[in-house]
Structure 1
Amino acid sequence: MVTFILAIILLIVGYFTYGKVIEKLFGVKSARKTPAYANQDNIDYVPMSTKKNAMIQLLNIAGVGPIFGPIMGALYGPVAFLWIVFGCIFAGAVHDYLTGMISIRNRGAHLPELAGKFLGKAMKHVVNIFSVLLLLLTGTVFVTSPAELLHNLMNGWVALGIIVAVIFIYYIASTILPIDKIIGRIYPIFGILLVISAVGVGVGLIVTGAPIPELSMSTLKNLHPAGTPIFPLLFLTISCGALSGFHATQSPIISRTLKNENQARRVFYGMMIAEGIIAMIWAAAAMSLFHGTDLNELINTAGPAAVVSEVSTKMLGSIGGTLAVLGVIILPITSGDTCFRSARMIIADYIKVGQTKILNRIWIAAPLFIISFLLTRIDFNILWRYFSWANQTTAMIALWVGAMYLVLSRKFHWVASIPATFATIFTFTYILNAPIGFNLPMPLSFIGSLIIAVIIIGLFWIKAKQNMNEQLPVDLEKVA
């Protein structure tokens, strides 16, 4: 329990300390006109309040990732707490803040456009493919996972196929209609369920004195599953809640609705910290209520959704547990809708098609939903493995974009380049070692990842020097 409470405290302290350091380092300009006003189109560029932006950002980024990921990460024991806390404060929240603010300074641009500007034109095409792939995989997972939870919650009274169809209909509407018509109106309601879910389980853990394992040398050595090394698998298993490239696809949505740059720390950095707290609660709940072998068996037989149901019912009773499960169901739904919305915006920007006309939005979005429907026929565990790799690769790229921006701004780039380097190493170690990748022995995979990281760092500085010689402007927006 001490480790758990201390971890929550560290996350909160991180927001008020390191969050302010990052904000001051970047340099907020309150007089600068944000894209919400400079490019207002009442579709995607719409000025909205800070509270609404913060809630939308939290619900956008907090899908099943900060719940299912930490539940599976709980198999590694309390070492998962370390990655959630330090990953969130020094990597994930920095990643989210930088991508959001750099997007604001560049007319609400999405990651592919930013990568093309700062890392080279070729990267624009690569990141565009990665981003759309990631959003399709995430959006599909965020159709099937809440549908299964709802199906279980209703004891199979409503057919799974019908639930999937209803979720798809909602996603289509929220993708095509202006952001303030559906998303901006119903997210506050969804937010209440989210708070009830997370706070209820968290308070339940403390009040009941749940036996949450403490961090020690013994737990570091013995609790992770045999044959599954902490590095790099833990960093791929727990992404949302620590560091997630998916967030780089979501922050530009809010960069187009933020009224003032001084709201960015609360919206981008702060909501990542909030997601970290959610991840901590669910990781702790899974560790406390199930022994390692029991948890592993339940995940393998019924999936993380079964753990959610078990935890919610045991901790809060039937009524409270139902509300908690509803809160969990809300998370993927409120990320799935913006997955497809973000994909539509990225493709529109890439092919330079305006989005004020509804027909333009429809013909871009329609193929996305057709592909996603076909992907729902694939096993969740297979999708999740590819999601983890694509997600952390996107995070790696986004952090290098942030590092380049800071280098060109003559600012302390290490806050981005150090986590970018770390993400590069564990991402390439994973893909070189994993069966879905090159299936190389772990020692060879690690050495290979170090060599690749050195090459990438070298290319980064070559590009940085080129950008400085060409005096590449880091910001496109002008001061109002």
Structure 2
Amino acid sequence: MLPLLTVFGCFLVYFLGYKIYSGYLSRSVFQLKDTEGDTPAHKFNDGVDYLPTKPAILFGHHYASIAGLAPILGPAVAVIWGWLPAMLWVVFGAIFIGCVHDFGALVVSVRNQGKSIGQVAQDLLGPRARSLFHAIIFFLVALAMGVFVIVLAEMFSAGKKIQPTVPPTPQISVEEKTKPELHSHPSEVKIETPSSSSIQLRSNFPEAVIPTVGLMVLALIVGWLHFKKGAKLAPLTVLSVILTLGIMVLGMNESVLSWTGLSDPDRSPGIPTWKILLLLYAFLASVTPIWLLLQSRDYINSFLLYIGIAAIYLGFFKGSIFGEFSNFNAEAVRSEPIGLDMVPFVFITIACGAVSGFHALVSSGTTAKQLNREVDARPIGYGGMIGESLLGLTSVVACTIGFSSATEWTSFYKSWAGIQGLAPQVGAYIYGTGRFISQLGFDSGFAQGFIALIVVSFALTSLDSATRLLRYNVEEIADSIGIDSVKRILGNRYVSSTIACLAIAFFAFLEIEQGGKKKAAGLALWKLFGTTNQLLAGLALLVVTIYLLYSKRKTWISFLPMVFVLSATLWAMIVNFREFLFDKSPSYLLAGVGGTLILLAVWLLVEAVLAWRRFSRT
């Protein structure tokens, strides 16, 4: 009963956090207005980036943009230190730090003409601060989306094999099949244990390709019908969700997979087809009007996530009540060393599941430009982060309780060095949540396919939103240079989107030497992304603190979280820098990026101290 009681306790914390703490922030700290016409969406309405939007639609867009692959992937890796530290950070970190960060960044941006967090930093800290923010944001978004492209490309692929390192017992064998059947792919890893039945973990889900493409087409149609033809939203929503689920069933059919060639493991060997296609999609999503693809796609996606999270928790509760999920199958806090210190890296690895600097970019980059009324910032900013934390909690639960036994879990999470890339961790999440949903009477293969579609869909929503945000960042950099010819060239959304995609591609195709072989730098990039992401979160909280100081309001609500996040992040950044530089297989490129970010962070903190002194004297 411990897992059941623990998860119920987490739900209670979420409820109290939103009811009490977010109410306090709304009324006593930010003092939100309940009137239309005051927000940037009304003042600068251009139908492309600025657009007053219904709260339900905007919540879906915002939630889908922030709730991507990261809140699943981070906790799925971090449970290697045990379920308790991961769960505590996901829940309490979100309530007192992540939600405050997202909420604060959204409000500050709305009250500064919908400007990005970097532009707001210029107004509060000075022009040098804006340039420093721009550099950090550029690295962060390019890094994160490079990782997403790596993982998505592997998930879409049909023929890549996983060979994780495990102890002699249990044994692992990779099942090779010349004619793969539905839900049984060449990339399956079969873990056989003497104390339990075998399990199969997959990292490749080509059946998610067809419904993913179908969802894009549906989003274009829904966006055109609703915004251009005035079609009612409710029937469009119901129809699009039903059609998406129908296309998912179609895509899981073996004959359809064979006809499309998606089940062929030898298709286009050696050619990074999926990476190229994903980058092309990111470019197209960046240049199209926000109502045509981003809003409608994120809105439809949000319903898939609502259904998925509800099914995961219902299945978990049912299985727990009837004794199927009575143990965590992992230590509360792991006693033996795993090759990487829990503190500070548990905070860095989980990243978006608790607090994420990327959310400040979404809040101030797209959401602030669509907010209809200030009071909508509470459910969208604070409530959206609770929703993301709920998703992160499913990852903690699925990657501990979702395993059939402690032996199976230990085999998979043997050590940090034994983690083979990032896609296998997604496979562990899909396996665990698939077991939960199968408690509701669904076939386990269908359940895993449904979760795979959700994971892919939300990783893509982060990819398209982030590429647009990176485009904004490039345009703001051009604007700060002050040269008309540069502003004219880089201010073109096609040029700036191309630069954004090239930056993402650099990290997506980056390889590092590991064990004498060149491999995708996925796990190393995730550590670097985690530190960069948390660094930006700390700096965004710094901007919120300066804003509150300037407005003569309570600063402790953002100051204390800022101190904690920046302290843990700078600690981890220094450790990473030393590892990249002095490891047996050093990566001087990653060491250079990490060292540059440390210098930028320290410089920006100096600018903040100077600004604090100026405001304190007034």
Structure 2 length normalisation: TM-score?
0.69
Question: Are 2:238 and 1:106 aligned?
Answer: no
Find 2:46's aligned residue among 33, 37, 41.
41
Post-superposition offset of 1:429:
1.1
Contact persistence 1:4–1:212 (CA under 8 A): no
Post-superposition offset of 1:153:
1.4
Counterpart of 2:236 in structure 1 is none
Question: Are 2:104 and 1:52 aligned?
Answer: no
Find 1:319's aligned residue among 446, 454, 474.
446
Contact persistence 2:144–2:529 (CA under 8 A): yes
CA distance in 2, matches of 1:125, 1:48: 31
More divergent stretch after superposition (49-58 vs 147-156):
147-156
SS at match of 1:27: coil
CA distance in 2, matches of 1:41, 1:349: 18
Give the 3 Å change call, closer, same or farther, for CA 212–14 of structure 1 in structure 2: farther
Post-superposition offset of 1:396:
0.9
Which deviations, in whole Å up to 9, do the C-alpha atoms of 1:367-402 show, x marking residues without a partner?
Answer: 221232232222211221211111011011001111
Which deviations, in whole Å up to 9, do the C-alpha atoms of 1:64-88 show, x marking residues without a partner?
Answer: 1110101111112212111111110
Counterpart of 1:372 in structure 2 is 504
Contact persistence 2:105–2:360 (CA under 8 A): yes
Contact persistence 2:136–2:532 (CA under 8 A): yes
More divergent stretch after superposition (172-181 vs 264-273):
172-181
CA distance in 2, matches of 1:437, 1:82: 29
CA distance in 2, matches of 1:66, 1:76: 17
More divergent stretch after superposition (29-38 vs 413-422):
29-38
Post-superposition offset of 1:211:
3.6
Which deviations, in whole Å up to 9, do the C-alpha atoms of 1:37-87 show, x marking residues without a partner?
Answer: 111111111111101110111111111111010111111221211111111
Which deviations, in whole Å up to 9, do the C-alpha atoms of 1:203-262 show, x marking residues without a partner?
Answer: 2222112244399xx833x35753433210110011112011111111121000111101
Which amino acid in structure 2 is aligned with residue 84 of structure 1?
V
Counterpart of 1:118 in structure 2 is 124
RMSD after superposition: 2.9
SS at match of 1:219: coil
Contact persistence 1:73–1:234 (CA under 8 A): yes
Matches within 5 A, 1:412-427: 412-427=554-569
Find 1:202's aligned residue among 313, 321, 324.
313
Contact persistence 1:432–1:439 (CA under 8 A): no
Give the 3 Å change call, closer, same or farther, for CA 164–437 of structure 1 in structure 2: closer
Counterpart of 2:328 in structure 1 is 213
Give the 3 Å change call, closer, same or farther, for CA 454–175 of structure 1 in structure 2: closer
SS at match of 1:141: helix
Give the 3 Å change call, closer, same or farther, for CA 4–177 of structure 1 in structure 2: same
Post-superposition offset of 1:300:
2.9
Query: Any gaps of 5 or more consecutive residues in structure 2?
Result: 158-203, 208-261, 439-443, 511-519, 584-600
CA distance in 2, matches of 1:212, 1:396: 36
Counterpart of 2:102 in structure 1 is 96
Contact persistence 2:478–2:491 (CA under 8 A): no
CA distance in 2, matches of 1:358, 1:437: 33
Contact persistence 1:75–1:295 (CA under 8 A): no
Contact persistence 1:63–1:142 (CA under 8 A): no
More divergent stretch after superposition (168-177 vs 141-150):
141-150
Question: Are 2:553 and 1:405 aligned?
Answer: no
Give the 3 Å change call, closer, same or farther, for CA 148–389 of structure 1 in structure 2: same
Which amino acid in structure 2 is aligned with residue 27 of structure 1?
Q
Question: Are 2:143 and 1:26 aligned?
Answer: no
SS at match of 1:258: coil
Counterpart of 1:300 in structure 2 is 420
Which deviations, in whole Å up to 9, do the C-alpha atoms of 1:163-193 show, x marking residues without a partner?
Answer: 3333323211210111111112222221222
Which deviations, in whole Å up to 9, do the C-alpha atoms of 1:73-122 show, x marking residues without a partner?
Answer: 11122121111111100000000011111001111111211222223322
Contact persistence 1:46–1:256 (CA under 8 A): yes
Matches within 5 A, 1:31-430: 31=35, 33-77=38-82, 78-151=84-157, 152-154=204-206, 157=263, 159=267, 161-209=272-320, 210-213=325-328, 219-220=332-333, 222=334, 225-252=337-364, 253-290=366-403, 291=406, 292-297=409-414, 299-300=419-420, 303-315=424-436, 316=438, 317-352=444-479, 360-378=492-510, 379=520, 380-430=522-572
CA distance in 1, matches of 2:508, 2:77: 21
Contact persistence 1:170–1:337 (CA under 8 A): yes
Give the 3 Å change call, closer, same or farther, for CA 258–358 of structure 1 in structure 2: farther
SS at match of 2:376: helix
Which amino acid in structure 1 is aligned with residue 466 of structure 2?
C
Structure 1 length normalisation: TM-score?
0.88
Post-superposition offset of 1:408:
1.1
Which amino acid in structure 1 is aligned with residue 614 of structure 2?
Q
CA distance in 1, matches of 2:455, 2:431: 13
Seq. identity, %: 25
Give the 3 Å change call, closer, same or farther, for CA 455–136 of structure 1 in structure 2: closer
Post-superposition offset of 1:361:
0.4
Counterpart of 2:214 in structure 1 is none
Contact persistence 1:40–1:46 (CA under 8 A): yes
Which amino acid in structure 2 is aligned with residue 62 of structure 1?
A
CA distance in 2, matches of 1:436, 1:37: 49
CA distance in 1, matches of 2:434, 2:355: 29
Query: Any gaps of 5 or more consecutive residues in structure 1?
Result: 441-452, 472-480
Post-superposition offset of 1:309:
3.2
Which amino acid in structure 2 is aligned with residue 107 of structure 1?
Q
Post-superposition offset of 1:325:
1.2
Give the 3 Å change call, closer, same or farther, for CA 311–195 of structure 1 in structure 2: same
SS at match of 1:303: helix
SS at match of 2:370: coil
Which amino acid in structure 2 is aligned with residue 29 of structure 1?
K
CA distance in 1, matches of 2:312, 2:471: 35
Post-superposition offset of 1:404:
0.8
CA distance in 1, matches of 2:34, 2:490: 33
CA distance in 1, matches of 2:575, 2:446: 45
Contact persistence 1:103–1:114 (CA under 8 A): yes
Which structure has more helix as a fraction of its residues? 1
Give the 3 Å change call, closer, same or farther, for CA 121–454 of structure 1 in structure 2: closer
Contact persistence 1:196–1:327 (CA under 8 A): no
